[in-house]
Chains A and B, each alone.
Chain A
Amino acid sequence: MAQKTEAPKKNVEPLKMDPSFKYEVMKEHDGETLKICFQCGSCTSSCPTARFSDSYRPRTILRLAQLGIRQKILPSPTLWLCTACFTCTDRCPQDVKVASVLRVLRNLAVKEGQTPRIFIELASNIYETGYAYKIPELRQKKRETVGLPPLPKASLDRVDRLLELAGGSKLIKSKEAQ
């Protein structure tokens, strides 16, 4: 019988772990609950996205965050497949605020310049129109014909100022330039 030989795999490198990463997460609002996750998997089994996606597993992301394997989390588009349904947070037996920990991770990804385009678009819309989704002008004109009162104007100047001060503008604009 012919012996089947396989070529040795090349470039097998261990994943880099950053022991300080979990502290970065834990200092943000609700991020501190990351440390009490004991990996039961209630989050993944309750997750509406995980039922249809091959890649999105909240439990895995939390474990990667605890271990500090940031290169597997922050650049990955998978991180953005959360629908923010909060079922994971509601059902976690350890009271880990799973959805909020995932939000913290996305906030960190944004700071590293890893924001998917559609999210930048939504946030930039607030600058331009005061709202995340644009309200077409035609719609505003049509309101009267169906018997709706005119739409009150959004407060643009002040909201711009708010975004500047809260730091959001920096995050949106620096990404737009890329």
Chain B
Amino acid sequence: MTSYALFLGCTIPARQSNYELSSRKALAKLGIELVDLANMTCCAPPPVQSIDLETSLAVAAYNICLAEEADLNLITLCSGCFESLSIANATLKADEQLKAKINRILSEAGKEFLGSKEVKHLLQVLVDDVGLERLKQRVSKPLSNLKVAAFYGCHVLRPSELLKFDDPERPSILENLIETLGAKSVEYRNKLKCCGGLLRGFSDDLALDLAREKLANTTKAGADCIATLCPFCFVALDLGQLQIKSKLNETFDMPVFHYSELLSLALGIDPKELALEAHKVKTDKIISKIS
């Protein structure tokens, strides 16, 4: 059995039981063990990097040290956590001087960054450790009638030099995973542009402009739903639809799912076990379409 230290971050436990539940249940079915480590802290995402880089590197590295001590690679469900931890991991592995500086700070907290572990996003674990072929064999309820718009968001793809997740201009991991479940992946305009999530709370109008574009383009392409892999993209596109309705008087009614939720449904997990009530845009029509 392959084991990973689960890095949950904040947004998922704060508001998305649906993402955590579906990921835990699907991975358990696929033979991937998740270990919950104590004493994890913030991943130090871009807003924290904006305050001070070295502080953010030290905080991110602290988490990686915990995984090193447990002799486990890290798995993240959130793209923001994936990016922050991966940037810290790759930067410190490559820059001895900076590593020494950060290690001086970490030593006061009883830690040392060694650079011996990897940080992986859920999707990479599905592709690398389970494999598309094996995944396909495990699908008991193919999502055959479903047209799904893959939405990557930014923080798994870029900076590609450090993250090495997929081709940043023509990624295919998510589309392949969607089709493995028996669904059809549909193309749409400006698929790789930002969801606007990080502008929420600072420039809400701009944030909604960015989210609106994705909703308009996926609707135009005839998608039944959007598949995301990041809690920020999920909020921007799901809760965003309520805000777009009240601010711009425009209704999309486009259900947004985390990929792990579609995966769980295809693996035959009962939708009632997946806390789907966390969705702001109702998922009923999709559930009835696939059952």
Residues of A in contact with B (beta carbons under 8 Å apart): 28-29, 48-49, 51-53, 80-81, 83-87, 89-90, 97, 99, 103-104, 106-107, 110, 115-116, 118-120, 122-123, 126, 130-136, 139-140, 142-143, 146-149, 151-156, 158-159, 161-163, 165-168, 171-172
Contacts and interface: CB of A to CB of B under 8 A. Distances in A.
Contacts of B50: 80, 103, 106-107, 110, 119
A131 to B, nearest CB: 4
Contact of B47 (A99, A119, A140, A166): A119
Interface string B102-144: 0001101110000000000000000000000000000000000
A117 to B, nearest CB: 9
A152 B40 contact: yes
A152 B36 contact: yes
Contact of A123 (B17, B47, B201): B47
Interface of B: 8-11, 13-15, 17, 20-21, 24, 36-42, 44-59, 62, 91, 95, 98, 105-106, 108-110, 154-155, 158-161, 168, 193-194, 196-199, 201-203, 206, 209-210, 273, 275
B203 A81 contact: yes
B41 A110 contact: no
A132 B201 contact: no
Contact of A155 (B9, B20, B39, B168): B39
A151 B168 CA distance: 34
Contacts of A103: 46, 49-50, 53
A131 B54 CA distance: 17
Given A118-B202, A119-B47, A158 B40 contact: no
Which of B53, B55, B196: most chain A CB closer than 10 A?
A: B55
Which of A84, A110, A151, A163: most chain B CB closer than 10 A?
A: A84
Contacts of A115: 51
Contact of B10 (A97, A132, A162): A132
A154 B39 CA distance: 4
22 contacts: A49-B199, A51-B193, A83-B196, A84-B46, A89-B161, A90-B160, A107-B50, A116-B202, A119-B47, A126-B42, A134-B14, A143-B17, A147-B21, A148-B20, A151-B13, A152-B40, A158-B62, A159-B59, A166-B54, A167-B52, A168-B59, A171-B51
